[in-house]
């Protein structure tokens, strides 16, 4: 039996902080993204996603394919991620009108499937004869994976299996290509590996498990595979020549991998599939490879915000300790993928560090990827922006000061929506006798082992978490690494249990009241001296939240500030704070302006007060400077 597994999404409903975000996704994000898919959103770039499926359906029936295909080669995945987000939302908030929209879209998608099970609008409309000849770039398996995830989510949410049947037929087709016909190769953009594992667990289809094993076990056994594939065709999508196997995570067999490399989203999607397969099959060698890759990311290549992938060149990991603030890439999807990876690592071994990182990525980078009104989105998440430089200088055009409404490459907005709506799947886990609380949020969760928890908390702004227990068993509560101390009471009596691998375990009975109180003190955090440009800098954090300094709170200028790290940090309330979040107040020094670009005179500092707001709320008050890290008087 697994150590623990994810709790079924159907068993969870949320209130409070997470509930507000889920309602925002329901009321604003899902309707807006639906209008984008249908090219009806004012001010957003043309998507053509739904029309691509309609046109592909015409092509399948031998009719004129209308205005053809438009958009990115992976455009189909936008529809899949929207369906997945809608499915999770329908569980949280049943809505016949939304369900009807999903059903109608599923009908359109089903009509675009070829008789042999193939489903991809780009090739169905444009280049049927080129199917499966460009695994490196063409994203056929990536799109299939996302649609498989959508099919599983929608079936689990409302019990309708039309899309699930479509994708089982698609999986049969892929099985025939790669297993029965020996096509060879593996996905240029990993994703289908984790999706096949979901399909396997839901349907019991052994072919899905065999396919997942094949793609994972074959990857890296032939580092030149993509080069030969490229040489065999006279066309390309992106111009990728397959010459850099490390960028494709295919330089070595995955069981021998020691370092996370290449495109960050692809990497963590792949590692998620690896960890999932290891947990399902008990493959300890594969899990040990995942451990090495986990350490490579979280100990040497991760921003304090849980962002990963530091360079815009290839949206990729760079080298160890290369974590610049002002040119950071830190794609929203990469942090979402890191959460996926962490959740599957927890299924192999319950260790607090996995949930710590999952929480770090969610409450900082993932939430920062969406504006507080749910109408605008960040693809890239820098830790420093300066109007006039950020978004304009050649090296920083990707680091924007304000969130756009949409993107031609629109992977991040729907991924954020599906993650937020399915929060309970990551917050809780279980086995036969234990309920695991990995992340904290108000709401109610029912476990397959018969236990039920009702949680009251203001987390992440408040640090008292109260549970009302129904049923009998054990409760495992994570003690975050940032919490300097904690208290735990059961029916008003102190519980003296010590944490085991980051979790405190206690036996509970029906009707018990459990209260966990974590450390609410804000803290200065310092970077490793191995990280260039951060020596002598400090950041401020409270609970799981990384804070940042915006010009809006600091006389328009944070570049001249220097923190006094010998002082305390005060938590205050301000009516103008974004999201009503607690504000951190700290003593600082401000350098007076000097004439000229350079000066021989020593800087003159004035004492002042600096104010910081949660990083996840930045960029909601117009264009202004922002910094997570400031020079510090230590």
Pair (126, 238) in one structural domain: yes
Domain of residue 488, CATH code: 2.60.40
Pair (481, 624) in one structural domain: no
Pair (478, 538) in one structural domain: no
Weakly modelled stretches of the chain, pLDDT under 50: 1
Pair (607, 472) in one structural domain: no
Q: Looking at 244, 263, 289, which one is the last position of a domain?
A: 244
Q: What is the pLDDT of residue 9?
A: 64
Q: What is the pLDDT of residue 29?
A: 93
Provide the pairing of β-strand 626-627 with 5-6: unpaired
Does residue 238 belong to any structural domain of this protein?
Answer: yes
Pair (492, 555) in one structural domain: no
How would you class 237 by CB atoms within 10 Å of its CB: exposed for 0-12, middle for 13-18, buried for 19 or more?
middle
Does residue 555 belong to any structural domain of this protein?
Answer: yes
Provide the pairing of β-strand 434-437 with 443-446: unpaired
Pair (479, 622) in one structural domain: no
Q: Looking at 215, 244, 273, which one is the last position of a domain?
A: 244
Does residue 552 belong to any structural domain of this protein?
Answer: yes
Q: What is the pLDDT of residue 402?
A: 86
Pair (441, 574) in one structural domain: no
**C-alpha–C-alpha distance, residues 336 and 325, integer Å:** 20
Does residue 487 belong to any structural domain of this protein?
Answer: yes
Active site residues: 315, 411
Does residue 65 belong to any structural domain of this protein?
Answer: yes
Contacts of 514 (CB under 8 A, 6+ apart): 466, 467, 469, 475, 477, 488, 489, 490, 506, 508
DSSP calls for 557-603:
--TTEEEETTS-EEEE--TTSGGG--EEEEEEEEEPP-SSS--SSPP
Pair (512, 527) in one structural domain: no
Q: Looking at 518, 539, 554, which one is the last position of a domain?
A: 518
First to last CA, the chain: 50
Q: What is the pLDDT of residue 335?
A: 97
**C-alpha–C-alpha distance, residues 485 and 518, integer Å:** 7
Pair (160, 196) in one structural domain: yes
For residue 626, give its domain range.
523-633
Does residue 406 belong to any structural domain of this protein?
Answer: no
* Three-state secondary structure call for residue 501: coil
Does residue 409 belong to any structural domain of this protein?
Answer: no
Q: What is the pLDDT of residue 10?
A: 61
Pair (180, 72) in one structural domain: yes
325, containing H or E segment: none
Residues in the chain, how many? Answer: 634
Q: What is the pLDDT of residue 405?
A: 74
Pair (481, 454) in one structural domain: yes
Q: What is the pLDDT of residue 1?
A: 42
Report the number of distinct structural domains present in the chain: 3
Contacts of 254 (CB under 8 A, 6+ apart): 216, 217, 219, 220, 270, 274, 286, 289
Pair (455, 548) in one structural domain: no
Does residue 310 belong to any structural domain of this protein?
Answer: no
Tell how many helices (H) and how many strands (E) occur in the chain: 18, 22
Average pLDDT, the chain: 95
Provide the pairing of β-strand 537-542 with 545-550: antiparallel
């Amino acid at each position: 039996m697994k150590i623990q597994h994810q709790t079924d999404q159907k068993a969870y409903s949320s209130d409070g902080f997470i509930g507000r975000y889920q309602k925002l996704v329901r009321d604003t994000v899902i309707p807006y993204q639906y209008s984008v898919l249908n090219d009806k959103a004012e001010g957003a770039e043309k998507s053509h996603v739904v029309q691509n499926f309609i046109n592909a359906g015409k092509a399948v029936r031998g009719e004129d394919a209308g205005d053809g295909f438009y958009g990115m080669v992976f455009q189909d995945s936008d529809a899949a991620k929207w369906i997945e987000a809608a499915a999770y939302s329908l569980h949280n908030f049943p809505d016949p009108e939304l369900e009807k929209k999903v059903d109608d879209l599923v009908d359109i998608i089903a009509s675009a499937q070829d008789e042999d099970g193939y489903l991809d609008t780009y090739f169905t409309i444009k280049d049927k004869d080129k199917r499966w000849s460009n695994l490196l770039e063409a994203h056929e398996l990536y799109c299939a994976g996302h649609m498989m995830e959508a099919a599983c989510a929608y079936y689990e949410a409302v019990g309708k299996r039309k899309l699930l049947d479509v994708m089982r037929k698609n999986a049969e087709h892929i099985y025939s290509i790669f297993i029965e016909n020996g096509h060879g190769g593996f996905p240029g953009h990993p994703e289908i590996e984790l999706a096949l594992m979901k399909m396997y667990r839901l349907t019991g289809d052994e072919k899905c498990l065999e396919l997942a094993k094949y793609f994972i076990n074959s990857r890296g056994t032939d580092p030149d595979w993509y080069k030969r594939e490229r040489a065999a065709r006279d066309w390309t999508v992106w111009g990728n020549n397959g010459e850099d196997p490390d960028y494709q995570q295919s330089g070595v067999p995955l069981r021998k991998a020691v370092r996370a490399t290449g495109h960050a989203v692809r990497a963590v999607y792949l590692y998620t599939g690896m960890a999932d397969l290891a947990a399902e099959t008990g493959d300890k060698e594969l899990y040990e490879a995942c451990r090495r890759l986990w350490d490579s990311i979280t100990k040497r290549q991760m921003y304090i915000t849980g962002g990963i992938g530091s360079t815009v060149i290839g949206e990729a990991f760079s080298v160890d300790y290369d974590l610049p603030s002002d040119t950071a890439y830190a794609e929203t999807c990469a942090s979402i993928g890191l959460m996926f990876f962490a959740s599957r690592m927890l299924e192999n071994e319950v260790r607090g560090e996995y949930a710590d990182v999952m929480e770090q990525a969610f409450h900082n980078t993932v939430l920062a990827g969406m504006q507080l009104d749910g109408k605008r989105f960040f693809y890239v998440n820098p830790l420093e922006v300066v109007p006039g430089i950020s978004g304009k200088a050649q090296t920083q055009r990707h680091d924007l000061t304000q969130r756009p409404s949409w993107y031609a490459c629109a992977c991040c907005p729907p991924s954020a929506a599906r993650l937020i709506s399915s929060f309970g799947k990551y917050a809780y886990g279980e086995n036969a006798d234990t309920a695991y609380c990995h992340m904290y949020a108000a709401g109610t969760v029912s476990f397959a082992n018969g236990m039920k928890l009702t949680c009251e908390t203001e987390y992440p702004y408040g640090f008292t978490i109260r549970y009302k227990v129904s049923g009998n068993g054990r409760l495992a509560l994570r003690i975050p690494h940032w919490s300097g101390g904690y208290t735990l009471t059961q029916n008003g009596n102190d519980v003296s249990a010590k944490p085991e691998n980051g979790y405190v375990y206690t036996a509970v009975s029906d009707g018990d009241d459990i209260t966990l109180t974590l450390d609410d003190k804000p803290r200065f955090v310092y970077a490793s001296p191995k990280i260039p440009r951060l020596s002598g800098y400090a950041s401020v954090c409270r609970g799981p939240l990384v804070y940042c300094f915006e010009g809006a709170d600091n006389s328009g200028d944070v570049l001249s500030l220097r923190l006094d790290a010998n002082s305390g940090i005060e938590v205050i309330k301000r009516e103008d704070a974004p999201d009503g979040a607690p504000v951190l107040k700290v003593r600082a020094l401000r350098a007076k302006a000097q004439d000229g670009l350079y000066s021989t005179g020593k800087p003159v500092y004035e004492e002042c007060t600096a104010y910081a707001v949660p990083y996840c709320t930045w960029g909601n008050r117009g264009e202004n400077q922002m910094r997570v890290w400031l020079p510090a008087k230590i």
